[in-house]
A and B are shown apart, each in its own frame.
Chain A
Amino acid sequence: MSLFELFLIFTKIGAILLGGGYVILPIMINEFVDKRKLVSHDDIVDYFALAQSLPGIIAANMSMFIGYKLRGKWGAVTAMLGVTFMPFWCIVLLASIIGSLTENSYIQGALWGVGAAVIALIVLTVREMWQKSQRGIFFYTIFILTLLALLIFKLSPIQTILLFSLIGVGYKRIAEAKK
């Protein structure tokens, strides 16, 4: 498969990808396992798990894993550029016209509603993350400490992540050594 072909496939995937990052799995299985038989089902599921455990955007990570599998380093770069190609132009277009629309009172109304929806969505995302985690004393402690660090001590997100990752991994290491 040529890099150009790879680019086109990921451009298509980027264009039909709507909703949360979790819809990417069925789309990728359909495209690379069922239709083209380029990647095995097991590999795709592995990539999905890995994509979630790496930092960054799940859908982009997964695209890069598949790109790398098919065409090495440049395959990963191509997949990265392909999957963001259509969304990029879509956003650029919308962002440049939205300013002139906000004068309209109906659009203002819509944006007001949308602002409320985003807050509700964030709360629901927290709940979803919460449900998907194994919750024990470790989870609750780190969660509460994170909130305190951000809200009371006003640490930045990155300071918070670095601090508690060190504490968390250190704690796990000590707990493991005691076993």
Chain B
Amino acid sequence: MIYLYLFWEFFKIGMFSFGGGYATIPFLYHISQVYNWYTLDELTQMVAVASITPGPVGINVATYAGMKSAGIFGSALATIAEMLPSLFLVIIVSKLLRKFSDNFYVKSLIQTLKPISCGLLTSVAIGLLKPEIHDIKALVLIGAMLIFSWKSKRDPLFYILIAAIIGVLSALAGKTGLFSLLAS
């Protein structure tokens, strides 16, 4: 039964997400709240791993979510389900090509989807920030990364690696009592 839900949820993601791999996050966020397939913490973990491994982020994260939900068969199912709508559309659009992108409804739909995608992702950012409110260290780290790259966004890899190193250092500092030493 879980396979059926898994297929349907990821088919919908493939059908309704516009604008790159991170545009799938709002749907994954929604899934984490409706089903008990993975937690919010695991979702950020999934996005991070998907961003630093080769391959399209949106596909990787589907593979990972499928694996979390229903093992290796689940991950194959989620990956394929997410690409199926595009497969049909690509085949249809390839035949129409120019007619497609000049169509009035297609053009208006794309213009409408841009602000919708921005809104979807903003709501996820708000949802993920809420539980971090009490973690001052995390807020400082997020703030620093935003200020540092407000002008131009770098490769996702860069942020994730730097943040991982900072995280390890802070665990190290906590263990050796470096902070308490400095404070005394």
A residues engaging B (CB < 8 A)?
A: 14-22, 24, 46, 49-50, 52-61, 64-65, 68-69, 73, 76-77, 80, 83-84, 86-88, 90-92, 94-96, 98, 105-106, 108-130, 132-134, 138-147, 150-151, 156-158, 160-161, 164-165, 167-169, 172-173, 176
Given contacts A56-B82, A87-B63, A109-B170, contact A118 B14 (CB under 8 A): no
Chain B residues positioned under 8 Å from A108 (CB to CB): 171
What is the number of contacts between chain A and chain B, taking CB atoms within 8 Å? 347
Known: A91-B67, A110-B164, A160-B119. 5 other contacts (CB 8 A): A49-B101, A111-B48, A115-B132, A123-B146, A142-B116
Residue pair B86, A54 in contact (C-beta under 8 Å) = yes
Residue pair A109, B167 in contact (C-beta under 8 Å) = yes
- Interface: B125 (CB within 8 A): yes
- Interface: B36 (CB within 8 A): no
Nearest CB in chain B: distance from A158 CB, A = 5
Per DSSP, chain A at the interface is helix
B residues engaging A (CB < 8 A)?
A: 12, 14-22, 24-27, 30, 41, 44-45, 47-51, 53-60, 63-64, 67-68, 72, 75-76, 79, 82-83, 85-87, 89-91, 93-94, 97, 100-101, 104-106, 108-126, 128-129, 132, 138, 141-142, 145-146, 149-150, 153, 155-157, 159-160, 162-172, 174-175
Contact of A120 among B72, B112, B145 (CB under 8 A): B145
Residue pair B93, A54 in contact (C-beta under 8 Å) = yes
Chain B residues positioned under 8 Å from A64 (CB to CB): 83, 86-87, 90
Chain B residues positioned under 8 Å from A147 (CB to CB): 119, 122-123
Given contacts A55-B85, A120-B159, contact A88 B76 (CB under 8 A): yes
